[in-house]
Amino acid sequence: MNIATVPPAPLDSEPVTEPSKEQLLEISMGPQHPSTHGVFRMKVVLDGERVVRLKPVFGYLHRNHEKIAESVTYLGSMPYTDRLDYMCSITNNWGYALAVEKLAGIEVPERAEYLRVICGELTRLQNHACLIGFLMQDMGSTGTPLMYAFREREKILDLFESLTGARMMCNYMRFGGCRVDLPAGWLDRAKKVIADFPRFLDEYERLLVSNEILMDRTQEVGVLSRELAVSAGISGPMARASGVDYDIRKVDHYSIYDRFTFRVPLGSHGDVYDRFMVRLLEMRESVGILQQATRAIPAGPIVDPKMKIRGFRPKPGEAYGRIESPKGELGFYLISDGSPNPYRYRVRPPSLINLTVLEDLCLGRNVADIVAILGSVDIVLGEVDR
């Protein structure tokens, strides 16, 4: 079967190939399918079980967040950023707050930075745990790893709820700091959750890492080379599993990450198993950062005292701010024209850019591998489609 003989898709048309001429089967995986990544559709052309062509279709959750942001104030967009990557609302808030702080030159006090790091790393823990759970469920382990992951996630969501008032849509960051300070006893509860987490990680590793079915289905599947990863703009654990040594926490030196010692796990094969292992190891590093941060958090204000939010009008100009979110590089590009609303508000979505190479990873594999590969890319449709 010569892949080059399949005609390329013409502009703006629906079918990918003419079914009467070739013995190929075109199926549509999605937009409603049992994988929990959301409303994502892939038009797959198959030769038997092997993938010949794969075209993703986006836009089923396009809620025009960027257009709405032009008609609300800067702070009014903060709850909308919660709903971008809805598993990790606090890191979305952080990326946006960082971009606005770059645009307007706002400083963040030290206690607020510590709070940001603690909440951000807790978010990373629950995101990676749930992702591994979803990946295992997509591959057919019907729920057990996902149940364990959600058990830990509930503990972390309880912490978020007592701090910010909401389980998922936390809306916690403000320009120049955080919205609200820690209630009494929160830090002790958080330390207990963090101290219990390595035991959960040990249990997870014992269950999954040497599992034969997992290794058979994920090793040498969906191999992403280092050069393609860099050229395609892949970021986050997916790039690091291919050997790209780029963690924005280490490169940009944003916030106070320079004060904490943590390692950046790198993979060497770039397959689904490596992406899974990188996330598992990153969880351990996050626990280390959390232990250091909760020990060293100082007293002080939680928001910049010079910052006035009423009538906040940054000077005309533009800024691009980015953070290492659990999915990859989350960036916000803001253009201000001196009015209370942004002139242009752009989200750089890691999930969408990481999907650039989906076709390359899936070509020549079986249909069952598509599910494993898609699960390892770690997408959330709220971010892909905005």
Among 25, 50, 110, 150, binds other proteins (CB under 8 A): 150
Specify the residue, 40 or 197, whose C-beta has the smaller distance to other proteins.
40
**Positions 321 through 380 that interact with other proteins (CB under 8 A):** 321-322, 329, 331, 333, 335-336, 344, 346, 348, 352-353, 355-357
CB 296, min distance to other proteins, A: 27
* 343 and 317 Cβ atoms separated by less than 8 Å: no
Evaluate the omega torsion of the peptide bond into residue 183 and state whether it is cis, within 30 degrees of 0. no
Binding residues with other proteins: total (CB under 8 A): 79
Subset of 33-52 contacting other proteins (CB under 8 A): 33-34, 36, 38-39
Q: Is residue 95 involved in binding other proteins (CB under 8 A)?
A: no
Single-letter code of the amino acid located at 144: T
Region 268-307 residues binding other proteins, contact defined as CB under 8 A: none
Nearest CB to other proteins, comparing residues 64 and 219: 64
DSSP string across 220-258:
TSS---HHHHHHTT--THHHHTTT----HHHHS--TTGG
- Residue 115 or 248: the one with the smaller Cβ distance to other proteins is 248
Do the beta carbons of residue 263 and residue 245 sit within 8 Å?
Answer: no
Comparing CA positions, the residue from 322, 295, 298 lying closest to residue 95 is 322
**Under 8 Å between Cβ of 148 and 202:** no
How far, in Å, CA of 237 to CA of 240, rounded? 5
Smallest distance, other proteins to C-beta of residue 337, A: 10
Residue 201, helix vs strand vs coil: helix
Binding mask 1-30 for other proteins (x = CB under 8 A): -------xx-xxxx----------------
Q: Which range touches other proteins (CB under 8 A), out of 42-50, 64-72, 176-184, 201-209? A: 64-72
Residue with the two structure tokens 């993938």: 51
Whole-angstrom Cα distance, residue 90 to residue 171?
Answer: 7
The smaller minimum CB distance to other proteins, of residues 226 and 284, is found at: 226
Return the residues of window 163-202 that contact other proteins according to CB under 8 A: 167-169
From CA 129, how far away is CA 276, in angstroms rounded? 10
User: Comparing C-alpha atoms, which of 272, 214, 224, 222 is closest to residue 244?
Assistant: 224
Describe the strand order of the beta sheet including 328-336 as a list of residue ranges.
317-325, 328-336, 344-348
Number of C-alpha atoms within 13 angstroms, CB side, residue 201? 20
Pick 98 or 303: Cβ nearer other proteins: 98
* Between 149 and 372, CB nearer to other proteins: 149
What does the block give as tokens for 278?
């990188």
- The one among 3, 147, 213, 215 contacting other proteins by CB under 8 A: 147
> Binding to other proteins (CB under 8 A): which residues in 197-256?
228, 230-235, 244-246, 251
The secondary structure element, H or E, covering residue 380 is none
Task: Give 143 or 301: the residue with its C-beta nearer to other proteins.
Answer: 143
Of 84 and 115, the one with the shorter C-beta distance to other proteins is: 84
Is 65 in a helix, a strand, or coil? helix
Of the candidates 6, 24, 68, 266, which one interacts with other proteins according to CB under 8 A? 68
Q: How far is the CB of 156 from other proteins (least distance, A)?
A: 12
Please choose, out of 65-73, 207-215, 278-286, 302-310, the segment that lies near other proteins by the rule CB under 8 A: 65-73
Which residue from 87, 118, 178, 280 is in contact with other proteins, where contact means CB under 8 A? 87
